[in-house]
Amino acid sequence: MQQDANYHFCRDLPTTPLPEAGRILVTGATGYIGGRLVPELLERGYRVRVMVRGIAPEILERWPDVEVAIADALDIDSLMRALEGVHTAYYLIHSLLLGQKKFESADIEAAINFKEAAEKQGLKRIIYLGGLGDVQSELSSHLKSRITIAQELMSGRVPATFLRAAIIIGSGSASYEIIKHLVRNCPVILVPPWARTKCQPIAIRDVIKYLVGVLEKPEETAGRSFDIGGSDILTYEMMLKILSEIHLIKRPFISFPLKTVKLYAYAASLLTPVPAAITMCLMESCHNDVICQNDDIRRIIPFQTMPYRESLVRAMSREESDNVSTRWSDSYPPAHELAIKLNEAESFPLYRSSYSMLTAKKASLLFASITRIGGKEGWFRSNLLWRIRGWCDRILMGVGVSRGRRSSNTLRINDVIDFWRVEDLKENERLLLRAEMKMPGRAWLEFTITPDTKSPAHVLSVNAYFQSRGFWGQMYWYIFMPFHVFIFNDLIQQIEKRSL
């Protein structure tokens, strides 16, 4: 992806890089925050090791200068290897996508393991980013879990720095996409009483600056907790109103006595690209004021944080210039059953539909056209069918089809395209997508471009694979099979037509 000249957030940071500090480990590097932190550390001359759970060739493509350690925080042996020779570790592990029931126990187990491995490997520091919230009040389970993780990490022998943030505004952040799509997609904004809770949003660039800043101020920040926030304290209602002003969308705001956040969060999952697993966890915290209780960090790392309006404008301009570097949808638990890759399935899928056509177009043009599918480009004449299927999925609290894409032109492995995730990408040859919707089985969609053996033309093919789960899986396949002729023939024809 092309990165603009202002890409690095820390160029005006008032602290001095300490590259001699030693190796810096970034956990959660495939996630929203970690993915933005790594390039900043590299730019400041640090020796960076990223910890990821799956072997991911795209990591080295993105950051050729990093060391990659494959480790799962739930597996202490792999953690021990990943932490060997590390000076400071950023702890950015979060299992939100496992859903509300599972993430708390997974997160605490990961933190306990991490603390233990860090002590054994003699790390000098841990830096953790968690959530704001008054510990004296009754906090949501999500905020409580963030604080428990901090307490766990800070109780060890390795000095830990805890940065506490409320919602983070930036292109690709889940909170920003929820607010934006609520304003865009609701003709009337119903304002529940808890929308008047106070929040101190912070721009993603300021979060990254603080994360790097505390690394560079070890004496003042090791072993301490700091609240970080932007320059505005706003209610959620005000945040929605400001966004609608900036987007020039006029919406009536009407008070609504709905106290249950769950219902609202569920509705938000139907109206925004963010699925219920995330809206539920994030919006549950809307009952709690999340504002900074101390501003100590401003004296240690002094810079002007960005107002909410400006962070929205920056996020919008990044989207408009198609320059979103990480997105909430980037990380998906590899342990999740939907993350099983085609070449890892116990047996090759039994069900397959294949459609192909001969074309004189160049492989590079065909491939560029394939990589633009979904998102704003859509799924051509079968758009409506996909949408209906996606709505059914969202009702069942699945990912739906509206997740969109990080970038409309470029793709990397693990990117989301609506309800698919990129599993394999071979330039001018193959794009393999894995379905993440709820279905009685597993599905993949493969596009291939191969030279024709009898002419200078190319064969453009689409293959749908389905590994059925029992009787309902078979029914599912046979019910949808009659639509394949229309959907897949149209898909390759439109891709070919758009290969300009």
What does the H/E/C string look like for 126-175? Answer: EEEEEECCCCCCCCCHHHHHHHHHHHHHHCCCCCEEEEEECCEECCCCHH
288 counts as binding ligand NAP under rule CB under 6 A: no
Helices assigned H by DSSP within 426-468? none
**Residue 4 half-sphere exposure toward CB, CA atoms < 13 A:** 12
Paired tokens of 172? 């690709």
236 counts as binding ligand NAP under rule CB under 6 A: no
Residues 420/431, Cβ–Cβ less than 8 Å: no
What is the x/- site pattern for ligand NAP, positions 14-53, by CB under 6 A?
A: -------------xx-xxxxx-----------------xx
371 counts as binding ligand NAP under rule CB under 6 A: no
Least distance in angstroms from the C-beta of 364 to ligand NAP: 30
Least distance in angstroms from the C-beta of 167 to ligand NAP: 6
212 counts as binding ligand NAP under rule CB under 6 A: no
Dihedral, CA of residue 39, residue 44, residue 45 and residue 50, to nearest 10: -30
110 counts as binding ligand NAP under rule CB under 6 A: yes
What is the size of the binding site for ligand NAP (CB under 6 A)? 31
DSSP state of 336: S
The radius of gyration of the chain from alpha carbons, rounded to an integer in Å, stands at 23
Dist. CA 49–CA 27, nearest whole Å: 9
C-beta of 95 vs 448, nearer to ligand NAP: 95
Least distance in angstroms from the C-beta of 90 to ligand NAP: 9
User: Quick one: which segment of 124-132, 251-259, 299-307, 340-348 binds ligand NAP (CB under 6 A)?
Assistant: 124-132
175 counts as binding ligand NAP under rule CB under 6 A: yes
C-beta of 156 vs 334, nearer to ligand NAP: 334
Least distance in angstroms from the C-beta of 31 to ligand NAP: 2
C-beta of 44 vs 142, nearer to ligand NAP: 142
Q: How many other CB atoms are found less than 10 A from the CB of residue 38?
A: 22
Long-range contacts of 14-18 (CB under 8 A, 24+ apart): 14/213, 14/301, 14/302, 14/303, 15/212, 15/213, 15/216, 15/217, 15/301, 16/216, 17/44, 17/45, 17/46, 17/216, 18/215, 18/216, 18/218
Residue partners of 370: CB distance under 8 A and separation at least 6: 431, 447, 449, 495
Dist. CA 479–CA 482, nearest whole Å: 7
Range 131-150, binding ligand NAP (CB under 6 A): 131, 146
Paired tokens of 355? 């459609």
Least distance in angstroms from the C-beta of 425 to ligand NAP: 17
Identified binder of ligand NAP from the candidate list 165, 234, 315, 399, rule CB under 6 A: 165
230 counts as binding ligand NAP under rule CB under 6 A: no
Least distance in angstroms from the C-beta of 248 to ligand NAP: 25
C-beta of 436 vs 496, nearer to ligand NAP: 436
Q: Which residues pair with 235 in a beta bridge?
A: 198
265 counts as binding ligand NAP under rule CB under 6 A: no
Binding residues for ligand NAP, per CB under 6 A? Answer: 27-28, 30-34, 52-53, 72-74, 92-96, 110, 129-131, 146, 165, 167-168, 173, 175, 328, 331, 333-334
